[in-house]
A and B are shown apart, each in its own frame.
Chain A
């Protein structure tokens, strides 16, 4: 089945230790998104790619970086995780970004920072 896959499901890292979260999709969608979601809060968009074009949200900290080496894969790098970065990280895709296409989400990566 076509889907959005995130690995790992749970990630534990140490304060200040770089961590990378991965996302892959078999939907062949143009747009890939990274969201951060803390408990009982709205998902917060960090950045998105329209094909190879990278779009950073104005309030996304520099500590967060992203790479999209090809259509299928997208990575979220947190260079120096702080305690406040503990959250669920959601990867999502949509077919196009300029129309009202629904988002397809991966299962998320729950990040803990010790």
Chain B
């Protein structure tokens, strides 16, 4: 079967750095997405990785290792507004998105 694993919940302090991990087992791989979802709202696109390595976009960076079936989302200089769920999703061999259940990130002052 196809599976995406992410921690259920993480807590971090305002101004700090946090890394949210995602591991996947899918039938084929055509890229990995990270979405942010605030409570009661729709997901919004953060990043897309298809090649190994780090993609940096402002305070957010995303890393991919295809050989390890592993990605992480790195959030720097955390702000209270970063409190949200972060969803990892993998595009499989049929370009179908396989979603993780999301990691709820709690930011404390």
Contacts and interface: CB of A to CB of B under 8 A. Distances in A.
Nearest to A10: B40
A63 B14 CA distance: 45
Contacts, number: 49
A81 interface: no
Contacts of B100: 42
Interface string B63-103: 00000000000000000000001010001000111011110
A43 B101 CA distance: 8
B26 interface: no
Given A90-B42, A100-B48, A110-B40, 12 more contacts: A40-B102, A40-B104, A41-B101, A42-B99, A42-B100, A43-B99, A97-B95, A100-B31, A102-B48, A103-B45, A104-B45, A108-B40
B13 interface: no
Contacts of B87: 42-43
B44 interface: yes
Contacts of B24: none
Interface of A: 40-45, 88, 90, 92, 97-100, 102-108, 110
Given A105-B43, A107-B41, A108-B42, A98 B95 contact: yes
A18 to B, nearest CB: 24
Contacts of A106: 42
